[in-house]
């Protein structure tokens, strides 16, 4: 029998394991080797309600300009229009102030929640600077236009694949869900967080996803599935693997003691000798394995000695089966229905401006 049958496809998924990958769990330990970031929490229940609301609109006062009138200033017809459209008005002046403070410090930011960034909504901002936010309205617009971030708002999605906490007895013989006031429906306490990361232009050809299983770095794959000629050079491949392997051994492995199964995203510098951690992800079905399959990764983990060089995978030609893909990343879920209605006959810059105007007019 093959030795790989002794290794499960995925490590055991527990709420504690999943929560170890939310941004606030790992960033304090790795802030010196990651992108400068600010974590904003607690977030109000009203903000969560705003994220879960169906309409796409920015809160009142979040633009970089004279504050617009809010519902408290406007009565009558404005309220009636809001009710007819089924969308309440929101305003987050305290959160706006924190976002503006970060923008002043960093120059510009790109947002994410506990686990997920709105990469699928990058089309909504200028294509020359995707995900670049220079106002609170930009942050809200990205979050509201993204399907990805919904994952972080829904507890069943956050803890997918995990077993709920067991019920406890309340002394009357009645089973009570095993959580406290901070937990919900059997899941452990979970606090939504907004992360504002310093924005700067990076080339996606230098982003890589790296797989660690059983305490071994077993695989590295390019993260952007487009063809880049320079990745075909053997010397370049060796430099990438050596740089990532050295960084992992020196900066990551010693700090993640007690955890042997995880995936991290890494950005190399232009000379491919140094880099920064972009994110940590659970070794779980929810994390895209890109140019590997998880079955292949299991086999690599089962067969690899501790000192084996990780396997590197890349798009070797435009005709590669995984190459996109000249189409935009995440195109399958990047455009809301309302956007389709507005887009007819317009180029991307015209459409983005019209869509942003339409969203602002909904406040």
The string of pLDDT tens digits covering residues 120-158 is 888 877 777 888 999 999 999 999 989 999 999 999 999
> What is the per-residue pLDDT for 70?
35
Closest to 115 in 3D by CA, of 221, 265, 256, 255? 265
Q: Which residue has the tokens 């305490």?
A: 215
Q: Is the pLDDT confidence value at 340 over 50?
A: no
Residue with more model confidence, 95 or 63: 95
E runs forming strands in 147-229: 168-169, 175-176, 194-198, 207-213, 216-222
Q: Is the pLDDT confidence value at 51 over 60?
A: yes
Residue with more model confidence, 124 or 200: 200
**Tokens (6 digits) for 264:** 């991290």
Q: Is the pLDDT confidence value at 224 over 70?
A: yes
**Tokens (6 digits) for 221:** 């794959």
Segment among 46-55, 191-200, 206-215 with least mean pLDDT: 46-55
pTM: 0.81
pLDDT band at 344 (very low <50, low <70, confident <90, very high): very low
Residue 92 near residue 62, CB atoms below 8 Å: yes
How far apart, in whole angstroms, are the C-alpha atoms of residue 245 and residue 250? Answer: 9
How far apart, in whole angstroms, are the C-alpha atoms of residue 124 and residue 205? Answer: 22
Residues contacting residue 119 through CB under 8 Å, at least 6 positions apart: 131, 146, 148, 329, 330
Q: C-alpha distances in angstroms, 297 versus 25, 260, 267, 272? A: 26, 14, 21, 25
Q: Is the pLDDT confidence value at 178 over 50?
A: no
Residue with more model confidence, 155 or 186: 155
Alpha-helical (H) ranges within the chain are 15-19, 23-30, 45-52, 77-85, 93-106, 136-145, 150-153, 155-158, 234-247, 294-303, 337-342, 348-360
């Amino acid at each position: 029998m093959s030795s790989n049958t002794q290794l499960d496809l995925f490590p055991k998924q527990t709420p504690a394991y999943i929560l170890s990958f939310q941004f606030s769990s790992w960033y304090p330990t790795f802030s010196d080797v990651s992108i400068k970031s600010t974590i904003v929490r607690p977030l109000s229940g009203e903000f969560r309600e705003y994220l879960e609301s169906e309409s796409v609109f920015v809160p009142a006062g979040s633009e970089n300009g004279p504050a617009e009138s809010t519902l408290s200033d406007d009565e009558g017809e404005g309220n009636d229009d809001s009710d007819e459209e089924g969308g309440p008005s929101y305003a987050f002046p305290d959160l706006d102030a924190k976002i503006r403070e970060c923008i002043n410090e960093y120059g510009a930011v790109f947002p994410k929640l506990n686990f997920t960034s709105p990469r699928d909504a990058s089309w909504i901002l200028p294509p020359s600077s995707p995900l670049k936010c220079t106002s609170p309205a930009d942050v809200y617009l990205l979050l509201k236009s993204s399907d990805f971030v919904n994952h972080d708002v829904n507890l069943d999605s956050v803890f997918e694949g995990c077993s709920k906490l067991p019920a406890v007895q309340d002394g009357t013989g009645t089973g009570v869900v095993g959580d406290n006031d901070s937990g919900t429906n059997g899941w452990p306490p979970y606090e939504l967080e907004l992360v504002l990361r310093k924005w700067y232009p990076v080339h996606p050809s230098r982003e890589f996803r790296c797989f660690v299983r059983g305490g071994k770095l077993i695989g590295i794959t390019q993260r952007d599935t487009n063809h880049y000629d320079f990745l075909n050079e053997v010397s370049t491949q060796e430099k990438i693997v050596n740089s990532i392997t050295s960084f992992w051994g020196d900066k990551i492995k010693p700090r993640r003691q007690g955890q042997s199964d995880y995936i991290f995203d890494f950005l190399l510098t232009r000379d491919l000798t140094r880099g920064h951690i972009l994110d940590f992800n659970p070794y779980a079905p929810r994390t895209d394995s890109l140019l590997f399959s998880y079955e292949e990764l299991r086999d690599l983990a089962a067969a690899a000695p501790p000192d084996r060089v990780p396997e590197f995978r890349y798009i070797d030609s435009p005709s590669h089966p995984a190459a996109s893909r000249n189409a935009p990343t995440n195109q399958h879920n990047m455009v809301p229905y309302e956007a389709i209605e507005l887009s007819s006959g317009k180029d991307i810059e015209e459409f983005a401006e019209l869509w942003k105007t339409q969203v602002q007019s909904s406040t």
